[in-house]
Each structure stands twice: as structure tokens, then as C-alpha cells.
Structure 1
Amino acid sequence: MEKESRHPKEATEFTVKENETFKKTLPPDDGTDAANVAKGFIATRTNPIIEKHEPNAWQPISWDLSKSDFVEGESPETVNPSLWRQAGLNAQHGLYKICEDFYQVRGFDTSNATFIRGKTGWVVIDPLTTAETAAAAYELVTEHLGFREISAVIYTHSHLDHYGGILGMIERSRIEDENIPIVAPEGFLREAVAENVIAAPVMGRRATYQFGMLLPWNEKGHVDQGLGKGIPTGSSALVPPTIEITETGQELILDGIKIEFQLTPESEAPAEMHFFFPEYKALCMAENCSGTMHNVLTLRGALVRDSLQWSRYIDEALDRWGDSSEIVFASHGWPHWGENAVKGYLIRQRDLYRWLHDQAMRLANLGYTPNEIAAQVDLPPGLWNDYMCHGYYGTVSHNVRAVYQRYIGFYDGHPSSLDPYTPVEAGKRYVDFMGGIEELVEKAKTAFEAGDYKWVAEVLRHAVFADPQNDDARLLQADAFEQLAYQAESGPWRDIYLTGAQELRNGSIDVPVLQRPRLEVAKGMTLGQIFDFIAVKVEGKNAVELSPMFINWSFIDTGETARLELSNGTLHSKIGPSSEGSDVSISSSRNVLEELIATEYSLPQAIKDARVEVQGDVDKMLKFWETLTNFPLFWSIIEP
């Protein structure tokens, strides 16, 4: 019985009824989406497994195309019927022809890779997340369309799944030796580092929840990400762009192909752009339009996006190219063909983000708090009737709360929210007020039997944080999370609930792995960005005792010098000439610094190996280096 209580359960009668009721609200399916997904199919891989360059015990491969084979037929009782439909569409994979000279590889990663035949080679839009999946996509193109070198690369925006796999398609040495154009929107490098390095440890752990990265793929586990199938694992790199798009209206010719650009900063990503191919009447909307409602604030964490500007950028694209476009495609999802279909798609996507923005702020200005706003806003019929506006990835609920956060912040205006207790201290007090842990759990069981899973999940949070060893509280909260997952139309909501349930039943993940930037990513960072990352690692209280401290760090291979100042436990860096009167002077090659932040290689070992030369107060420098925090890959979320 104990073992069974830790296994996934069936859908309860309340969940079955909820999903049946929800299904009746769905718009009719005329088959257009399925036809568009299948259109232009050429072939896919024979071997579904994409091997990983550096396998590990919990993620031994990079990608498995066959993992979604279970998604067929009618939706099971344990999956929201609308999410099941989306999962079936996203499960299709292979090489597709969009139009003459334009091809996409879909389903090999969470994102799409687009290949455009230029005069001499392939112009690639978004080379996926990992080198492994990118190489597999390129191999498929070569197998069926013939070998051509990569002649140019376009990054649509600053998220990892749109640039991380570049070295699977083209070698870094060739990029440098042949001056291969890599095009990106203004601010790309700054934003890519800010999101994927400085905040990577916390985002990485939360991403294991959002994407269900440690869940089994089946009818009671991960079904779909909503935006795509899931997240691959493997080797990612940050290769800086060689050409920045700095203004809307800018034009380029890449390998004989004319492209017109539109900058869209602070939309789906802080640095993003749309672009149009006039000779082909084809419009790329990056990730600002896709096959689902997107996130105004992604649940793994990110900067809150500007949904008002997002809507305006789509409107601007309509004005610029709506009458000229016969095809629209994007970094996720599938293309749309025909002027009317293109316009209708863009109009509804435009209206979607405007609706979220305007209704959230209308209610905020009436004094409603984020949770109250989320309880009141639904999609209007014209948007609900388009499946591509449904909340498979973002949701109305968390998006309207994000709009509030962008304008108003975390504080809901109530005085009790100013200085709240920590979850542990609040939990102890809630449990005491409710008559103790046993009485609280009994009341929660009654609520569960009545189908009030949301309340069970909320109240048992206090119980688990007050007494994380209480199995009755943990297992009942897990059961509540599971039923909420089975009802969720959103892929990330489902995965978050199910990951929480899995860790409540089996314990939080405790694997001694550290989160570091990959070496190939470190090579793409500027010196200033590297030292900004080091500054985040400084344990301030210990560093205060070493302050003030001045360091000159010279790099013999690049000729650069970083002037570092430790003041009141904070680290400041300036790239420029050495300063006089420093406590420490360091000399090394830049690749040593890259190894120090991206591998287990230590400063004492580098000094011992004579790869770093230190003059001045060596002991003080080593004590400073000891203040740098190592960030674990896993830490507790559902318990203290």
C-alpha cells in the first residue's frame, strides 16, 4: 500500500467530469491545423535517437523522436483534451518544404530550424538549442536536399533554443576564418548572457519543473510543452553575432537573398526581430507569433515582457507586410499559407496580447489584485475559437498577473504583504491555527474528496513547510497536484504540477551537480560579462572583510586588462588600462579565466600550473576567490 501511494494515480471522477465539460467548450476542428502541419513533408530520421556528446545518468541522450508515439487517438482521462490535440500536432517531426528554396526541420528540438537555399549555401534561421539536435537537423537536410555549406546564420532572438546549437552546423574556426555572417537583433549578446548566464542557475532548476525534464513521457506524465515537444539536452554554445540589426527598415542581402528587418525589443524576448523576404513573399515572425498563447512572464523566470509593445509590433508587421505576405512562419509551430490566412493569424495574435494587457490593467485600475484579475479574465469568443490563441504554453491566468507585475510590481497593496513570514515560519503558524498537523490533514482529505484540489494544494503547502517529514501531508498534496495536472490545458502547468507531485512522493532531487556556464558559452562572453557573472557569485558578508581591494588582471593573448575593485563586499569591473596602487596584479590568457568559471579548474591549481601569474598579496586574492559561491543544479522547491 505504501508503494502504491507513491505511484501516479488515475483521474478522479471530478477530473473526468471537468475534462468532459471543458471539451464541450472547445471550438470545432476543421482539420486546417493538421493539414498545415503535414504540408510539405519530405522525410524524417530513421533512427529516432539523437545521441548526446556527454551523456549522464539522468539524461543519457539528447533527443528521442519516438517519445511522443503514445499520443494518438482520443484523449485519455488523465490529459486535458485540448492539450492532447496540441500534443498530437507538435508530435509530427521531420523535414518540410515551406516554399521554393525554404525548408524547415521541426520536432527535432523545442524550436524549428529554417534552411533557405542561397546562391552558395544554406542561410539558417535559428540553429536550435544543442549541437546534437542541430547536427541531426543539418544531416537530414543534407541527406534529402544535398550537401551545401552554411553560408549565413540568423538568430531571431536572445533565447538559448534559437542560437545554442550553432556549432552543430558550422565550426567556430570556419565562422572566424571565412567571416560567416551571423545576424542578430541589437542587444542580443547582452540579453543572451543576462538570461542564460547570470540567472541560469535559478532558471535552470525552475525549468526542470516548467518543462517536466525529469518526468516520464506518457499519459500520466509529460505530454507536451505546448510550444513544442520538450527541451533537448546536450552541448550549447554562444557564438556572438557579427552583424547587428539596429533599426527597423534595415535591409541585408545574405548569400543573394534580400531581407527586410523589423526590430521588436521587449516583446517575447528582450532582443528580437521580425523579417520579410520580398522575393518569396514570406514573413518570419520569430517567436512573437506561434501555435499557442505565449508567456508574458515565463514560469521558469525571466524579465516580464511588454504585452502592449508585443501587440503593436505584430500590428506594425501587418502594416508593413500584411498585403505582401503569402506565407508566414515562425520559430515554433507550423507555417500558414495564403494572404487571408496570414492576415487572420496575425490579427488574432495581435489582438491576443492586447486583450491580456488591456483587461489586466483595466481591472488593476479598478483596484483588483493579481489573483482577483486572473479569476475574472477569459478570452473573448473570437480568440477562443482560434486554437492558436489557447493557453498551451502561456495562460490567461498567469499572463494577466504578469502584466500587473510589469506595471505595479510584486506588492499587491495590502499592508500584510509588506513583510511576510518565510514559508517555514508562516507554515508553523498556519498549522497551529488550524489545530495541528493531524487536524489540518484530515480537513484537507475532506476537501480532496469533494474535488477541491486547488484548496488542498494551497493549504498543504503550509503543512509541508511546517513539517516536511509528514508523509500524509506530502502524499495528499501530491495527489492534489496530480489531479490539477490532469485538468490543465497548459503543458507547463501540467509539468509543474506533476514534477511537484513526483518530488513530494519520492523526495527532492539530491544530485551533487553544479550549474556553470558551458565553456563554449564562456568563450562568447565579453570580459565585462564574465566579471559581472563572477560578481554575482561573491558571498558578500565574507567579502566585506577583504574590502577594499584592487586587482589588475591582464590577458596576454588579447591585450585586454580588467581593473577590479572590491568595495563593501561588491565587485566592480572596468575594462581598460591598469590602475596604480593595486593590491594584486594577475597575468594569464583569457582561456584560463574561461576555464575558471566554466569548469572545476581552480585558481590555486592555475597558479600551481604556472598558467596564472600573481604578484602582490596572493593570500588575499585566494581568500577573495574562496568567497565565490558554487551554484547547485538542484535545490528544494516543494519543501524547505
Structure 2
Amino acid sequence: MDQKPPTDVIASAHSEHALPFEDTTDFDNADRGYIAALTPCVVKAADGRVVWDNDVYSFLDGPAPTSVHPSLWRQSTLTARQGLYEVVPGIYQVRGLDISNMTFVEGDTGIIVIDPLVSTEVAAAALGLYRTHRGADRPVVAVIYTHSHVDHFGGVLGVTSEADVDSGAVAVLAPEGFTAHAVQENVYAGPAMTRRATYMYGSQLAPGPQGQVGCGLGQIPSTGEVAIIVPTVDIRETGETHTIDGVQIEFQMAPGTEAPAEMHFYFPRFRALCMAENATHNLHNLLTLRGALVRDPHAWSGYLTEAIDTFADRTDVVFASHHWPTWGRENIVKFLSLQRDLYAYLHDQTLRLLNQGYTGVEIAEIFQMPPALEQAWHSRGYYGSVSHNVKAVYQRYMGWFDGNPGRLWPHPPEALGGRYVAALGGIERVVELAQTAFDSGDFRWAATLLDHAVFADAQHAGARALYADTLEQLAYGAENATWRNFFLSGATELRDGNFGTAAQITSPTLLSQLTPEQIFDSLAIRVNGPRSWDLDITIDVTFADSAANYRLALRNGVLVYRKVAAEPATAALTVKLDSKFRLLTASVGDFSSPGLELYGDPTALQTLLGALDQPDPNFNIVTP
């Protein structure tokens, strides 16, 4: 890999940022309550594979190099801190053992675990660190999932077991709708999201001043075993209270904010408020670059107002499942109010400008934040950005089309690239123009030209090399960590080829939470429509564990299903399964394992499965 240093244009731009670097409050708060670090901070799976290594970020020290935006460097030095911290006596956090935090609340006899990280191994290490310094005599009595993203539940088997939950020894609390949203995110667009997530998190980049320095929200997700235990208690209403091991908890629902199922909660005993992921020390995503549904900043800001009105007068500390806490009522109100204003301003001003006829791209270019938000470190765009969040608000209300008929039916990238290259005088001329743009510091225009060049001729060495150099400069200039990771990942693939998607071990417990309907949906979106136009297949699927029967019909390239009474005579095949999980194994062609019985024409199932495409986890992004 032929990495280049930052140009003088980038180095000069870094020196022009007038941000309050003299304010060390975040460093004071990030270090407050420090008890001990995990040394070395390397966590391995049972097979010896490293699933977490925070020590690779030891380079994050001293002044920012010119290859990293100074504001992002500051944020990464904060998020790379790791260890066990006291929030208040009785509440402790482990930070820096994953992209997220794990919080321990001490009850009368045991501990309540909030958000057990991404994977089993790091969650177990975090629990071990807590017990080393707080004693091993307190059992886990409850787990709380703040919301439905995997970095807040995936490591649950590292802190408890299915057996302890089933026996009633451990309660699992989550917002209503948690399970459906938690598993559904990985069903419909999971492979595409995961591939793009490798770009967003920079998971295939080497950590270092010219490489990955974090993702703004934390460093990077761990890569161990992901699992789930279904909640035993669904939180349904704001104002709902529960007492666990003598600790009273007051809940506030916040659906449709940073996650579709999310909640905040307050501990009167500790005068402590948990804000899940809705008030963190950066601007969050309204539309994550890995891909997702657009989030609602209007609702988000409304729930922050409600949290201030409901809890602020009796709160001494506010904490979240990323970053560090904020102490003191005045500081808390200011922090939550600015976070509220941040999302409200993005929403309201984008709508103001779109109603004046500006498009999303145009709004993002002219959008200005008020000074109070511009100067607040926790409002800076390290994870989300003003630019892509404004475009997300536009998309939420107006969709992808900007109204200009000339942009209603453009050619796709390869065809468009070929036409641009021809119109500009050939690929050598395009590379020449891009080099001129690069030399003048107009890296955005150089990237546009070279994008067309590479999509016209993906093997052109000069275009690829200059495109990689250009993306690298854009990365060095980016304050947003996910933009930096996208730019550097693209540069890496242009130089070294497609690095694909790293595999994550998914526990059968996660897959087993899919409903039959979600499994059938996952099959339906894999049907190769053109290959299936002439097929007409009817199959009944019966689950022995629930006696439920579903009829699947494949016609016109569409797989539909409905729950019906079994009528074997009208179906070409009846498939009897002992569990939903057996359906998953059958869907990938496993007919021989126990738990599956076929009655009727077995070729019907083979024909159906033959109509399915396998997702491509390694599709190209920066090249055609």
C-alpha cells in the first residue's frame, strides 16, 4: 500500500480551525472516577483469535499530526481511554473495551448490567475487570438493554446465561419492540449494511496516524461472538417504574430516535440518569453511512426536552452507553439542552431551506450552525455530520429525487463514467484534469473526475492511483471519523483490491429469535425474480414446536406466505420442522440433519431453494 503524506493544503487547513482547544472539561470528565485499566487491553476468543485490542491505539498521544484533523484527534484521544470508572458510588462503567460502554449498578445484593457490549468475550472481560476491583461476591441479577442496536446487547452471554434467565435468577429488561427490531436489522439488508460497515468503521484499516483513529462514537466494534437473550420484561410506558434488587428505576420511552426501540431511565437512589445513545459527546447520525432507515430528529429533540423536564431537577449525573458522564445539575441541563437544540436545529432549518427550493446537496453546502452549537465539543460531527444529516432530513421528507427533471433518469455509474470520459477527451485527459484539481487542492472535484474515470476503465493504473491519493487527502482533512474511514477504505481497495467483509460469529441464540415471518421474508428477498417467472410452487411448512402451519407460494417471481390450516392435499409438499432454527438450516440446503420431514414431492423444495440467490458480502464499492 503506497500511502502518501498530507499535502500543504490539508496541513494549512488544519491550522485554521478556531475551536476551544483550551477547554479541558471533557478530559477531566473522561478521567474522573478512574479505578483501573485492563492490562494488556487485548481480548481473545477461545480459539486464540483477537476480538479486541485497545492497545493498538497507544499512538493517540501528543499533538495532532497533519494527517488527522485536530478536532478528530482530540476526540479519539478521549474515546481511546479504557478501564473501570466510578460514575457515582454504586454505579460503575467499563469504557474502551468495545465501541460502547458497559455500566454496572450495585443493588442490595447483586448488580444490574446495562448494555453488555457487542460480543461475549469483551463483555466477560468487562465483568471480570469490575469484579477484580469491586469484589466477586455480587451476582448479576438483571440486564437492561437501552435499545435495539447490537453494541448494546450482543455480549449478553458474557454476563449471564440462558439458564439463569429461564430460572428467573436474572431479569432482562428492554423497551417494547426490542426483539423484533434487534433481529430484523440483520435480516433484510444485513449483508449490504455489513459490507458498508467495513468502510464506515475502517475495520480493514491499520490503526495509525495515516490510518484508522476511531469512529467518533468509540474506537471500533469488537469482533467476537454475538448473541441475544430475549427480554423477560418489556418496558411500555413513560413513567413506568420497576424495583430490582432494591434499586428503583423510572423509565422514559424514546422510540424512533437513535434506534426504533430505545428508552432512557433514572435511578432515584443515585440521582443518576441514563440517556442510552440519545445524548452523547458528538453529533450522532440521522442516517448512518452503513445504511439504515432515516431517523426522526424532531422526535429525538422532543424526547430530550421531556427528559430535561422530567429528570433534570433531581439529577446529579447523566451518563450514556458511549463516551463519558456529565456531572452537576447546571452542566447537565446545558448539555442536554444543547443536544436537544442540535437535532431540532438540523430538522427545522433543513425544512426551512427545502421550502425555499434548495435541494439536499445545496442545503448541506450552505448550512450554518449557531455559534453555541458550533463551539460545543459534544455537538461536533465526529460520527454523524451536519452534511450527511441535512441530506438525511431532506430524504426523510422529500425522497431521493431533487425535482430537477434532468436528474430524474440519469445513466448508472459505469455508463455515465464512459460518457463523461469520452466527452472530456479520453481517460488520459480526465486523469490530467484530475491531477490539476489535486495540485490546486480541489480534492472534491478530483474525486468526481476520477470516480468517472475508474467506472469507465477500472483497470487504468493511473486513474486508480490518483483516485486513491485523492481519497487519502480527503480523509486527512475530515473531522468526521466515519468519513475518514470511508475515504481511507476506498483508497485501500483502489491500491490493494477488494478486502471484503470480515466474518462475525453469530450465536444460534440470535438466529433463533427470528420469527417464521422474518425467516420467510429473508427467503423472499433472495428469490431471483427473472429466474422464477415461470415457477408455480406451493409448499406447506409446519412447526412441531408450535403446531403453526404456513403456506408458501412462489409465482411470478414472488414468494408469498400466510398462516393457514394444514391441507396437505392442496400443497405439492409439506415440510415438518422441529423448530424455526431447523428452517434456517434447510434454507441453505441441509436436508439430512434431524428435525426435518418431507411429505409429498421433495423436488418442490429443491426447486424453491434453487430459485434463491446468495447475498454477496464482498461486492465492490469504489470500483464497478
Give the TM-score of the pair, scaled to structure 2: 0.96
- Aligned match for 1:163, one of 153, 163, 169: 153
Q: Is the 8 A contact 2:538 2:571 kept in 1?
A: yes
- Aligned match for 2:598, one of 598, 603, 614: 614
Q: Is the 8 A contact 2:225 2:506 kept in 1?
A: no
Instruction: Quote how far apart the aligned CAs of 1:391 are.
Output: 0.6
Provide the residue aligned with 2:514 in structure 1.
525
- Aligned match for 2:11, one of 9, 13, 16: 16
AA at the equivalent of 2:34? F
Provide the residue aligned with 1:87 in structure 2.
76
Q: How far apart in 1 are the matches of 2:383 and 2:392?
A: 14
Q: How far apart in 2 are the matches of 1:168 and 1:420?
A: 50
Provide the residue aligned with 1:31 in structure 2.
24
- The residue correspondences of 1:48-87 to structure 2 (distance < 5 A) are 48-53=41-46, 60-87=49-76
Q: Is the 8 A contact 2:272 2:317 kept in 1?
A: yes
Query: Residue deviations 1:126-167, cap 9 Å, x none?
Result: 110011111111111111111222111111111110011101
AA at the equivalent of 1:19? H
1:420 and 2:436 matched: no
AA at the equivalent of 2:25? T
Instruction: Quote how far apart the aligned CAs of 1:595 are.
Output: 5.0
1:7 and 2:20 matched: no
Q: Quick check: 39-48 or 208-217, which moved more?
A: 39-48
Instruction: Quote how far apart the aligned CAs of 1:322 are.
Output: 1.4
- Aligned match for 1:380, one of 370, 374, 382: 370
Structure 1's unaligned 5+ residue stretches are 1-5
Q: How far apart in 1 are the matches of 2:47 and 2:561?
A: 34
Structure 2's unaligned 5+ residue stretches are none
Provide the residue aligned with 1:189 in structure 2.
179
Instruction: Quote how far apart the aligned CAs of 1:374 are.
Output: 0.4
Q: Is the 8 A contact 2:326 2:332 kept in 1?
A: yes
Q: Quick check: 376-385 or 105-114, which moved more?
A: 376-385
Instruction: Quote how far apart the aligned CAs of 1:516 are.
Output: 9.3
1:626 and 2:610 matched: yes
Give the TM-score of the pair, scaled to structure 1: 0.94
Instruction: Quote how far apart the aligned CAs of 1:524 are.
Output: 2.0
- The residue correspondences of 1:132-147 to structure 2 (distance < 5 A) are 132-147=121-136
- The residue correspondences of 1:286-301 to structure 2 (distance < 5 A) are 286-301=276-291
1:43 and 2:40 matched: no
Instruction: Quote how far apart the aligned CAs of 1:518 are.
Output: 4.7
Q: Quick check: 110-119 or 203-212, which moved more?
A: 110-119
Q: Quick check: 314-323 or 194-203, which moved more?
A: 194-203
- Aligned match for 2:542, one of 551, 554, 562: 554
Provide the residue aligned with 1:3 in structure 2.
none
Instruction: Quote how far apart the aligned CAs of 1:582 are.
Output: 1.6
Q: How far apart in 2 are the matches of 1:294 and 1:100?
A: 29
AA at the equivalent of 2:215? Q
Provide the residue aligned with 1:123 in structure 2.
112
Provide the residue aligned with 2:246 in structure 1.
256
RMSD: 1.8
Q: Quick check: 186-195 or 324-333, which moved more?
A: 186-195
AA at the equivalent of 2:3? P
AA at the equivalent of 1:574? R
Instruction: Quote how far apart the aligned CAs of 1:277 are.
Output: 1.1
Provide the residue aligned with 1:596 in structure 2.
585
Query: Residue deviations 1:456-475, cap 9 Å, x none?
Result: 01111010001000011111
Q: How far apart in 1 are the matches of 2:159 and 2:503?
A: 28
1:544 and 2:533 matched: yes
Provide the residue aligned with 1:154 in structure 2.
144
Q: Quick check: 435-444 or 608-617, which moved more?
A: 608-617
Q: How far apart in 1 are the matches of 2:254 and 2:448?
A: 38
Cα 1:53/1:297, change in 2 over 3 Å: farther
Q: How far apart in 2 are the matches of 1:497 and 1:269?
A: 26
SS of corresponding position for 1:292? coil
Provide the residue aligned with 2:524 in structure 1.
535
Provide the residue aligned with 2:384 in structure 1.
394
SS of corresponding position for 2:251? strand
Q: Quick check: 112-121 or 422-431, which moved more?
A: 112-121
Q: How far apart in 1 are the matches of 2:403 and 2:525?
A: 30
AA at the equivalent of 2:618? F
Q: Is the 8 A contact 1:516 1:631 kept in 2?
A: no
- The residue correspondences of 1:360-371 to structure 2 (distance < 5 A) are 360-371=350-361
Provide the residue aligned with 2:263 in structure 1.
273
1:488 and 2:482 matched: no
Q: How far apart in 2 are the matches of 1:610 and 1:137?
A: 38
1:506 and 2:496 matched: yes
Instruction: Quote how far apart the aligned CAs of 1:576 are.
Output: 5.6
Instruction: Quote how far apart the aligned CAs of 1:253 are.
Output: 1.4
Cα 1:457/1:314, change in 2 over 3 Å: same
SS of corresponding position for 1:458? helix
1:574 and 2:558 matched: no
Q: How far apart in 1 are the matches of 2:469 and 2:384?
A: 24
Q: How far apart in 1 are the matches of 2:116 and 2:505?
A: 22
- The residue correspondences of 1:218-229 to structure 2 (distance < 5 A) are 218-229=208-219
Q: How far apart in 2 are the matches of 1:331 and 1:516?
A: 23
Q: How far apart in 2 are the matches of 1:129 and 1:609?
A: 31
- Aligned match for 2:551, one of 530, 548, 563: 563
Q: Is the 8 A contact 2:225 2:505 kept in 1?
A: no
Query: Residue deviations 1:538-560, cap 9 Å, x none?
Result: 2222333222x322222223433
1:350 and 2:345 matched: no
- Aligned match for 1:429, one of 419, 427, 440: 419
Cα 1:174/1:382, change in 2 over 3 Å: same
Q: How far apart in 1 are the matches of 2:32 and 2:124?
A: 24
Q: How far apart in 2 are the matches of 1:324 and 1:515?
A: 42
How many residue pairs are counted as aligned between the two chains? Answer: 622
Q: Is the 8 A contact 1:272 1:286 kept in 2?
A: yes
Q: How far apart in 1 are the matches of 2:28 and 2:318?
A: 15
Q: How far apart in 2 are the matches of 1:28 and 1:441?
A: 40
Instruction: Quote how far apart the aligned CAs of 1:588 are.
Output: 2.1
Q: How far apart in 1 are the matches of 2:29 and 2:47?
A: 36
Q: Is the 8 A contact 2:224 2:504 kept in 1?
A: no
Q: How far apart in 2 are the matches of 1:45 and 1:594?
A: 42
Q: Is the 8 A contact 2:282 2:381 kept in 1?
A: yes
Q: How far apart in 2 are the matches of 1:300 and 1:92?
A: 25
Q: How far apart in 1 are the matches of 2:231 and 2:376?
A: 36
Q: Is the 8 A contact 2:51 2:223 kept in 1?
A: yes
Q: Quick check: 466-475 or 625-634, which moved more?
A: 625-634
